Amino acid sequence: MSPREVYKSREEEFSASADRLRKLAERLSMARLAAFAGGLVLFAVLLSLSVIAAVVTLTAALVLFAWLVIKYENTEKSRKRDLRLAEINRLELKCLDGDFSGFKTGEEYAERDHPYSYDLDIFGKASLFQYICRTTSRPASDRLAGYLKHPAALEEILLRQETVAELQPLTDWRQELMTLGYLNAGAGNDPAPLMQWLRSDDLFRKTGREKMITGSLSLFALAAVIAVIAGLPAGILAPVLGVNFIFYFTRYRRISKLQEQVSRSSDLLKAYSTIIRLIEGGHFTSPLLQKLQSAFRNEIAASDRIRQLSKLVGRLDSRLNVLVSIPLNLLFFTDIHFCLALERWKRGHAYRIPGWFASMAEFEVLASLGNMAFNNPEWVFPKVTEDYFVFSAQKMGHPLIPAGRRISNDFTAEGAGKAIIVTGSNMSGKSTFLRTCGVNAVLAFTGAPVCASAFTVSLVRLHSSMRVSDSLEENISSFYAELRRLRAIISGAESDPKVFLLLDEILRGTNSDDRYTGSVALIKQLTGYGAVAMVATHDLRLAGLEQELPQSIENYHFDVKVNDEELFFDYRLTPGICSSFNASLLMKKMGIKV
């Protein structure tokens, strides 16, 4: 089955199941009401005939009511799960049509000064991050952003490729992983406050003494309560509870500080526990997945440890309910006992948490890449080499352009110290082609499949200068901003020439003569270092450098065809220099008399 057929089938299956469960839940709701009301009516009727019969009937009705309540809650839980799975498959169907707006944008990871992510639309709306991301936890989103910002080492890329290939067909498992995160509201919360608490010093250090004192005071308070019930004056409670209050008050600041550190982490921990439990139960063959899975295996499963912490945090959060908290603390010091239990948990397991969260995040990211691979079965895993320089692609297209509208091209560049000059008319596809090369290189360096039928690329640093704008905040012009970016490119190429540069209309902020002179100087300087650059330009004079530097310059172009003053673009990359331009015709169509 094709990805579309799989998603359509699953969407229909889970929608139908959710509808059946909805009807069942409605019947169970009516049944529990009937059981409760019927039990009361029968109790009233039978009470005058037989007390035993009335009590037995009421007990049976309440047992039935309790069973129906549990059954209803389980049914609702299953219904919500199926609704979420149906929604996941609907979103994937939209993604196949080019609409992936239903997923995280990753805008918080955008960096204008990053070497390439801003120019290549790696983050933000309609970005590569949004296209890939199926993570639900914050650590996983952070890890995916790191994948896209920083190329991995060759060995790591190969391990990821094997892992993504294993996860690619596991649609049930991948979607279950997503569903567990979506069904737990705290999954997307930032765990940073919790991690800070895990690294902090204990607030209750003399735990043995605390337990002895709280135990003794609780026994005195309980004895006083029993004495009052037995008939002694209630006034004896005042000094006992007063002492308890003073003792609790001396610990109140520490309790509040600890509660502030871990507050609202219960839902997050519950979500992580369910996600990790699914990972623990998986059966994987790739070395990377087995290594990540081994991080959770100990004498007691990591998911159980995290769920235990979630319960402890939830209990401490219950102190916010004043009506319950005050009597419990005056008698039994429940807040102190919860704090002691939390710090005991921290001393025993805090050092494992970073590894658990990191492995969980890695699983989510790799599952996202597996999902992308499943959605695009025609894409290939690239060959990544440390030999400098090779970029060879067949039928390469932009991953974010839907297959029905995507135009693919073959392209090969080999050898160090080269500049590929791409000329062409307005809107012919020069900038898109540069981004196509860049985005596919980013995918290759993350260990993901690329949008091509064959692809080989050197593992290099990627740097671009394509989308430069002024900055009011820094009070700099777009031209000066571009010069700063080019300075960074030059410095990087000088120190390490193993770089692939994507440059679009360089030095556009100055006059044509200075622009040409500066562009020629920049190209010669970069190729002299041994770097490889792809330069998109309207200036045909740059293409003439091939005559001066035949070993360093390669010319390609995108052409435009005119038929009865109508423009036609085929977006096909062709060797050589462009000979047709469209600016005059476009201006004429806008009413400018040329």
Q: Are 461 and 115 in contact (CB under 8 A)?
A: yes
Reported as a single tens digit per residue, the pLDDT across 232-280 is: 888 888 888 899 889 988 988 998 888 888 887 888 999 999 999 999 9
Structure token digits, residue 228 = 């009052």
Does 180 score more than 50 pLDDT? yes
Q: Cα separation of 389 and 337, whole Å?
A: 64
How confident is the model at residue 585, as a pLDDT? 59
Q: What is the mean pLDDT of residues 191-209?
A: 87
Q: Which residue has the higher pLDDT, 567 or 61?
A: 61
CB 524 within 8 A of CB 548: no
Whether cis (ω within 30° of 0) applies to the bond prior to 357 is no
More reliable by pLDDT, 223 or 122: 122
CA dihedral 248, 251, 257, 263 (to 10 degrees): -40
Q: What confidence category does residue 472 fall into, taking pLDDT thresholds of 50, 70 and 90?
A: very low
Q: Is the pLDDT of residue 390 over 70?
A: yes
Q: Alpha-carbon distance 125 to 140, whole Å?
A: 19
- Place 591 in a pLDDT band, splitting at 50, 70 and 90: low
Q: What is the mean pLDDT of residues 386-412?
A: 95
* pLDDT for 34: 95
| 173 pLDDT more than 90 | yes
Q: What is the mean pLDDT of the chain?
A: 89
Of 306-315, 434-443, 522-531, 545-554, highest mean pLDDT: 434-443
For the stretch 384-387, contacts whose Cβ atoms lie closer than 8 Å and that sit 24 or more positions apart, written own/partner, are 384/154, 384/157, 384/158, 384/444, 384/445, 384/456, 384/457, 384/458, 384/459, 385/154, 385/456, 385/457, 385/458, 385/459, 386/154, 386/458, 386/459, 387/458
Tell me the average pLDDT across 180-197.
Answer: 87
Q: In what helix (H) or strand (E) does residue 419 lie, and over which residues does it extend?
A: strand 418-424
Asked if residue 406 has pLDDT above 80, the reply is yes
Residue 177 has pLDDT above 50, yes or no: yes
> Is the model's pLDDT at 554 over the cut of 90?
yes
What would the mean pLDDT of 508-526 be, rounded to a whole number? 86
> Which span out of 20-29, 36-45, 193-202, 207-216 was modeled with the highest average pLDDT?
20-29
Element (H, E) at 372: helix 353-375
Per-residue DSSP letter, 318:
G
The DSSP output letter for 382 is: P
In whole angstroms, how large is the CA radius of gyration of the chain? Answer: 33
| Residue 562: predicted pLDDT | 65
DSSP helix, strand, coil percent of the chain (3-state; round to 5): 60, 10, 25
Q: What confidence category does residue 586 fall into, taking pLDDT thresholds of 50, 70 and 90?
A: low
Q: What angle do CA 43, 49, 53 make, to 5 degrees?
A: 50
Residue 428 has pLDDT above 90, yes or no: no
Give DSSP secondary structure letters for 237-290: HHHHHHHHHHHHHHHHHHHHHHHHHHTT-HHHHHHHHHHHHHHHT----SHHHH
User: Across-strand partners of 424?
Assistant: 558
Is pLDDT at 573 greater than 80 in this prediction?
yes
What is the model's pLDDT at position 473?
41
> What does the buried/exposed string (b/e) look like for 338-375 if buried means 16 or more CB atoms within 10 Å of the residue's CB?
bbbbbbebbeebbebbeebbebbbbbbbbbbbbbbbbb
> Alpha carbon of 169 to those of 2, 88, 181: distances in Å?
11, 16, 20
From the list 159, 193, 182, 149, the residue with the least C-alpha distance to 462 is 149
Residue 589's pLDDT is 58
Tell me: the pLDDT tens digits for 130-146?
A: 999 999 999 999 999 99
CA 425 to centroid of chain Cα atoms: 38
Mean pLDDT throughout 433-437?
96
d(CA 93, CA 391): 32
Q: Does residue 110 have a pLDDT over 70?
A: yes
Does 481 or 420 have the greater pLDDT score?
420
Amino acid at 261: Q
pLDDT score for 594: 57
Cα separation, 191 vs 361, whole angstroms: 12
Interstrand relation of 499-504 and 553-563 (parallel, antiparallel or unpaired) = unpaired
The per-residue pLDDT for 38 is 93
User: Which token pair is 41?
Assistant: 């009516």
Task: Give the integer Cα–Cα distance in Å for 346 and 352.
Answer: 10
Read off the tokens for 240. 């006992």
For 235, which DSSP code? G
In the sheet with 461-465, reading across from the earlier edge strand, the strands are: 461-465, 499-504, 532-537, 418-424, 553-563, 566-575
Q: Which one has a higher pLDDT value, 229 or 365?
A: 365
In one-letter notation, the amino acid at residue 22 is R
> Which is higher by pLDDT, 471 or 171?
171
Is residue 362 within 8 Å of 292, Cβ to Cβ? yes
Least-confidence region, from 29-33, 39-43, 64-68, 318-322? 318-322
Most confident of 240-254, 275-289, 557-571: 275-289
The secondary structure element, H or E, covering residue 410 is strand 409-414
Q: Which one is predicted more confidently, 529 or 321?
A: 529
Q: How far is CA 135 from CA 176, 187, 369, in A?
A: 12, 10, 10
Contact 363, 286 (CB under 8 A): no
CA distance 462 to 446: 13
CA dist., res. 366 & res. 279, Å (int): 12
The answer to whether residues 187 and 181 touch, using CB atoms and an 8 Å cutoff, is yes
Q: At what angle do helices 138-149 and 430-446 cross, to 10 degrees?
A: 120
- What lies within 8 Å, CB to CB, of 55 at 6+ separation is 43
What is the tens place of the pLDDT at every residue in 447-469? Answer: 999 999 999 999 999 999 987 65
The answer, yes or no, to whether residue 26 has pLDDT greater than 80, is yes
Q: So what's the pLDDT on residue 61?
A: 93
Strand (E) or helix (H) holding 44? helix 3-47
The pLDDT of residue 391 is 97
Which tokens belong to 71? 């059954």
**Window from 28-32, 78-82, 295-299, 329-333 with minimum mean pLDDT:** 295-299
In the predicted model, what is the mean pLDDT of residues 366-379? 98
In percent, the amount of the chain with pLDDT more than 90 equals: 61
Kindly tell me if the per-residue pLDDT of 481 is higher than 70: yes
Q: What span, in angstroms and rounded, lies between the C-alpha atoms of 455 and 411?
A: 10
Percent of the chain with pLDDT over 70: 94
pLDDT value at position 413? Answer: 95
Distance CA 364, CA 164 (A): 11
pLDDT on residue 221: 87
Q: Are the C-beta atoms of residues 382 and 444 closer than 8 Å to each other?
A: yes
Structure tokens at 519: 């562009």
The predicted pLDDT at position 441 comes to 98
Q: List the structure tokens of 394.
A: 């067949």
